Amino acid sequence: MRKGFDGLSAQVRNILQLDPFSGAVFLFRGKRGDRLKALVWDGSGLCLYAKRLERGKFVWPRAHEVCRRSWRGRR
């Protein structure tokens, strides 16, 4: 997972066709499944959070299981 603020926000815009500045949390998982990044706009700038597991993998839904959840109103 080499992408940072610009690369991940570009993926949100171009692939997901969503606004990275909407306040929604966008999660990205690495190929091996042991790394996770969260991108979110907090009102004054983009925040990028990262987590690396020492053991195990993040469980990730298959494409047909994905659903969008609205986090509007949460601040």
For residues 46-68, one letter each, b for 16 or more C-beta atoms within 10 angstroms of the residue's C-beta and e for the rest, the string is eeeeeeeeeeeeeeeeeeeeeee
At residue 66, the pLDDT reads 58
At residue 2, the pLDDT reads 87
Percentage of residues of the chain with pLDDT beyond 70: 81
At residue 49's C-alpha, the angle toward residues 72 and 7, to 5°, is 90
User: Could you give phi then psi for residue 15, rounded to 5 degrees?
Assistant: -90, -50
At residue 63, the pLDDT reads 67
With 0.85 as the threshold, say if the pTM is over it: no
At residue 61, the pLDDT reads 78
pLDDT digits (tens, 9 = 90+) for 39-64: 999 999 999 999 999 999 988 877 66
